[in-house]
Structure 1
Amino acid sequence: MDPDRQSGNSTAVTSIAGECSDGRKICSNCDRPVKVCLCSIIPSEPISTVTRIVILHHPHEQRHKLATVPVLSKCLRNCDVIVGRRLHYGDSDVLDFLHDDAMRNPNFNSRAIYLFPGADPSPSQEISHWKSSKNIVETSNYVLIAFDGTWKHAREMMHASLSFLSKFAVQVHLDYDVGNDGGTIYNSDLILRKEPFSGCMSTMEAVAHCLRILEPNGIDRESSLIEVLRSMVKFQASFLKPMKPRPKLIKGGREGKI
């Protein structure tokens, strides 16, 4: 990837909107520092979906350089990002509508799901099983809710939002395996934001896999998002130094010398 092209030296790719607190120039389109501008890999036209995506984005993630939600929201036309630590009435028109509909209708058939691994004791269904159990012939306008933060924060956000979400949404998960360590989305020697167990993944990757199942043309939607994610990871990794392995401690001293 050409660093000059990514850094915004070509005005066709990047326009400057302002500066970070540290003085770095910010791209007006992707809202990232010009040096790591991602305009060349973000679709020129946002991807349309019949599924509405609502993401609760933890405030700490706004400062994280490797957060995928800002890029995801630029890629999808039908994606709402709410910054906060819990979801409640008044945050989202679409969620408020679903809540009110459920309160009025005792036979409410939920089309809203919130994504979280089923490792917690709360009931959860694998997303493809949930969809196949729905008695709906036509394509539904599903609402997919996701929590973006560290796994500790995401769990706290999910539990804090349950009193609201449980009125109209069902918990689902992608395949996971708590018996195996998780990997990372980085196909390199860099170990960044390692997942707690197999099947856990970044918010962008998780949403892409869900759209594969929920969307009528889901394979194409998933492929487009994963390709953007791969390019983002490859580009971001090019600015980072490989992590040096920590020396192992052995009884009576250190193994090897630094």
Structure 2
Amino acid sequence: GAHRCAMEPELITHFDFSEATAGATTTTTTSIAGDNHHEGSDTRRRICNGCDRPINVCLCNTIPKEPISTCTQVVILHHPHEHRHKLATVPVLSKCISSCQTLIGRRLRLGHSPLLDCLHNAALENPNQPFRTIYLFPGTDLSPSMEISKWKSSFNDACVRNCVLIAFDGTWKHAKEMVHASLPFLSKFATRVSLDYDVGIDGGTIFDSDLILRKEPFSGCMSTMEAVARALRVLEPNGVEIEDTLVDILRAMVRFQACHLKPMKPRPKLLKKGKQDEKKNERTEVCG
């Protein structure tokens, strides 16, 4: 089975995610119903059945009625903490593209995903076979990365059309830990790639900076959904259209989030200390 997986790309193209979900969350064609919802204990937190988001920030009008079909198989390692984060973009991304598998965990390993197991075993049996699996993460001196456009140009279109894209979803700290822990497994069959950069703009990405849902540790960071969208732009025949669709959805998320931001309130201890300082200053002025 592993040998055939390496030699027959169509086996990867038609890989059945529905049978490869041991311990994983997988997307299937989802019926989007924007007016359906179920209520929690707080009626203000009614949840839409279509996008699984609170009704007041429902995205069903922007999510495609049918998931986008891609030649690229997308696999996302979703950190357990992100799985519970209300601003996580992966749950929305998984509703937007059909060939997307989400794995909950802190590292990729043998036995985690039948698809990745197949690719891993095939690479061991055929060590001279070029890797058609890539994982998206910036390079380091010890583990350099290749720009994704250069990686694509090293293959013919048929090979790229059957590639597997792996992304890591977590905070910057968690993502680095996840990649490091996954390297013993990943290095056997996957190439490390990064998004293209424009070195003329202080080393920043060439992409928009208005798609941030939460504070990032430094310039150039982006959400998992945006990173996958930028990668699919390069990998897919209709990549520009796919990227535009995903970015529009992400912009809607950012817009909703901005509308529902609560004004910052000082912490009680700091507030109390501030009042004490004011009274102290008043007493000083009176005595003076």
Instruction: Quote how far apart the aligned CAs of 1:197 are.
Output: 3.5
% identity of equivalent residues: 62
Please, which of 143, 167, 170 is the counterpart of residue 122 of structure 1?
143
CA RMSD of aligned residues (A): 3.0
For 1:147-176, what per-residue CA distance to the aligned partner results, in whole angstroms no more than 9, with x for missing partners? 000000000000001111111000000135
1:233 corresponds to 2:259: no
Relative to total residues, which structure has the larger helix share, 1 or 2?
A: 2
1:58 corresponds to 2:79: yes
Q: Residue 5 of structure 1 aligns with which residue?
A: none
Q: Contact 2:204–2:220 (CA<8 Å) still a contact in 1?
A: no
Partner Cα distance (2:137, 2:68) in 1: 24
Partner Cα distance (1:99, 1:145) in 2: 13
Q: Residue 89 of structure 2 aligns with which residue?
A: 68
Q: Contact 1:127–1:174 (CA<8 Å) still a contact in 2?
A: yes
Q: Residue 29 of structure 1 aligns with which residue?
A: 50
Please, which of 236, 241, 250 is the counterpart of residue 220 of structure 1?
241
Greater displacement, 226-235 / 46-55: 226-235
| Structure 1 segments unaligned to the other structure (5+ residues) | 1-10, 245-258
Task: State the one-letter code of the partner of 1:62.
Answer: H
Q: Residue 163 of structure 1 aligns with which residue?
A: 184
Task: State the one-letter code of the partner of 1:91.
Answer: H
| Structure of larger gyration radius | 2
Q: Contact 1:86–1:161 (CA<8 Å) still a contact in 2?
A: yes
Instruction: Quote how far apart the aligned CAs of 1:196 are.
Output: 3.2
Q: Secondary structure at the match of 2:101?
A: strand
Matches within 5 A, 1:35-114: 35-114=56-135
Task: State the one-letter code of the partner of 1:15.
Answer: N
Partner Cα distance (1:20, 1:170) in 2: 47
Q: Contact 1:18–1:28 (CA<8 Å) still a contact in 2?
A: no
Q: Residue 140 of structure 1 aligns with which residue?
A: 161
Cα distance change of structure 1 residues 12 and 113 upon mapping to structure 2, 3 Å threshold: closer
Q: Residue 8 of structure 1 aligns with which residue?
A: none
Q: Secondary structure at the match of 2:116?
A: helix
Instruction: Quote how far apart the aligned CAs of 1:185 are.
Output: 4.9
Q: Contact 1:117–1:172 (CA<8 Å) still a contact in 2?
A: yes
Aligned length: 232
Cα distance change of structure 1 residues 211 and 20 upon mapping to structure 2, 3 Å threshold: farther
TM-score, reference length from structure 1: 0.80
Partner Cα distance (1:155, 1:69) in 2: 18
Instruction: Quote how far apart the aligned CAs of 1:117 are.
Output: 1.1
For 1:6-55, what per-residue CA distance to the aligned partner results, in whole angstroms no more than 9, with x for missing partners? xxxxx962322463799933222212222322222211110110000000
Instruction: Quote how far apart the aligned CAs of 1:137 are.
Output: 4.6
Partner Cα distance (1:175, 1:133) in 2: 15
Task: State the one-letter code of the partner of 1:203.
Answer: T
| Structure 2 segments unaligned to the other structure (5+ residues) | 1-31, 266-288
For 1:84-116, what per-residue CA distance to the aligned partner results, in whole angstroms no more than 9, with x for missing partners? 111111221211110111111122211100000
Cα distance change of structure 1 residues 150 and 137 upon mapping to structure 2, 3 Å threshold: closer
Greater displacement, 109-118 / 119-128: 119-128
Q: Contact 1:114–1:144 (CA<8 Å) still a contact in 2?
A: yes
Partner Cα distance (2:167, 2:246) in 1: 16
Partner Cα distance (1:76, 1:137) in 2: 21
Q: Residue 281 of structure 2 aligns with which residue?
A: none
Task: State the one-letter code of the partner of 1:165.
Answer: L
Q: Contact 1:57–1:81 (CA<8 Å) still a contact in 2?
A: yes
